[in-house]
């Protein structure tokens, strides 16, 4: 997040608020809503905390959604709710403690043993060392705390921005599969990625008007050829939405 991007956000918000009653005449009679006031503070949050992706509340909303789906048999305010929240808080506290400098080394070693015993299938460790698994294909891989998957495992985690070669401009693509590649020095990870085709010159990219918004329109068609890359060639996950005329907008979800 840069100061220029934060200031551009502020300018766009000011422009929108200024013309709100012209665009939506029915708002002229009412008082300004609290969210219109709140949106003005996002400029300061961008400067303090970086991109919205780093501090939005979607993970908490997802957790609340999961809790709401639990079968309670209409018993509210009982032992189960207390147990759930205590377990959640204790787990968070333990994870925080393990990353603190004053955590005893013996406790950290127990965590290492636990991770080795219960590592998820086809996952990589927190130290970015690859875990040997049977077969060459793997369901997903973790890198810098982010999970990446082949499209058959999780389509949402398969869309990425990546560099086909070290000095090349990032492009959007879709991970088709992930494989363990044996080498004389150990196992490395290869991702087979099909890039999205560039947008036809006859089609319009509406996001060109907003250079501070990291969104680009591509063709919805994948290239027939694939790039083979390593995890460090990935720039970020991409959010994808298909709209008219065979176009897909891909948003860079980088947290930096």
Verify that 153 and 59 share a domain, yes or no.
no
Gap between the Cα atoms of 91 and 96, Å rounded? 9
Q: Model confidence over 44-65: pLDDT tens digits? A: 999 998 888 788 888 788 878 8
More confident residue, 248 or 140: 248
Joined together, the tokens standing for residue 24 give 């939506």
The predicted-structure confidence for 81-120, as pLDDT tens digits, reads as follows: 777 778 778 888 887 888 788 888 888 787 777 666 654 4
Least confident of 110-124, 135-149, 210-224: 110-124
pLDDT digits 0-9 by tens, 4-33: 889 999 999 999 888 888 888 887 777 777
Residue 78 has pLDDT above 80, yes or no: no
Q: What is the pTM of this model?
A: 0.64
Q: Are residues 20 and 147 in the same domain?
A: no
Are 40 and 92 part of one and the same domain? no
Q: Domain holding 234: CATH number?
A: 2.30.30
Do 139 and 232 lie in one domain? The reply is: yes
Q: Domain tally for the chain?
A: 3
> Could you tell me which residue, 175 or 183, shows the higher pLDDT?
175
- Asked if 102 and 165 sit in the same domain, the reply is no
> Is residue 47 within 8 Å of residue 6, measured between CB atoms?
yes
Q: Within this chain, do residues 113 and 2 fall inside the same structural domain, yes or no?
A: no
Which segments of the chain are extended strands (E)?
A: 137-138, 140-143, 146-149, 159-162, 171-183, 186-195, 215-219, 227-229, 234-243, 247-252
Give the whole-angstrom CA distance, residue 196 versus residue 199: 9
Task: Tell me, yes or no, whether 94 and 80 share the same domain.
Answer: yes
The whole domain housing 34 covers: 1-68
In terms of domains, do 135 and 196 share one?
A: yes
Shortest CA distance to 234 belongs to which of 218, 255, 208, 209? 255
In a shared domain, residues 47 and 136 = no
């Amino acid at each position: 997040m840069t100061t220029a991007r934060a200031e551009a956000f502020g300018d766009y918000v000011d422009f929108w608020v200024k013309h709100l009653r012209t665009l939506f005449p029915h708002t002229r009679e009412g008082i300004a809503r609290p969210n219109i006031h709140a949106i003005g503070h996002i400029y300061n949050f961008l400067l303090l905390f970086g991109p919205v992706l780093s501090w939005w509340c979607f993970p908490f909303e997802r957790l609340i959604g999961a809790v709401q789906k639990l079968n309670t048999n209409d018993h509210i305010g009982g032992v189960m709710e207390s147990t759930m929240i205590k377990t959640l808080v204790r787990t968070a506290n333990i994870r925080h403690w393990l990353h603190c400098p004053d955590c005893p080394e013996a406790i950290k070693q127990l965590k290492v043993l636990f991770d080795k015993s219960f590592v998820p299938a086809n996952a990589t460790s927190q130290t970015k060392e690859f875990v040997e698994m049977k077969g060459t294909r793997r369901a997903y891989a973790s890198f810098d705390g982010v999970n990446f998957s082949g499209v058959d495992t999780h389509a949402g985690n398969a869309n990425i921005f990546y560099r086909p070669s070290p000095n090349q401009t990032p492009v959007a693509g879709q991970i088709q599969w992930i494989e363990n590649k044996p080498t004389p020095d150990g196992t490395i990870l290869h991702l087979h990625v099909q890039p999205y085709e560039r947008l036809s010159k006859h089609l319009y990219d509406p996001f060109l008007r907003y250079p501070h918004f990291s969104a680009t329109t591509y063709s919805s068609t994948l290239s027939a050829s694939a790039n083979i890359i390593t995890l460090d060639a990935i720039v970020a996950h991409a959010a994808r939405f298909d709209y008219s005329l065979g176009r897909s907008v891909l948003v860079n979800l980088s947290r930096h």
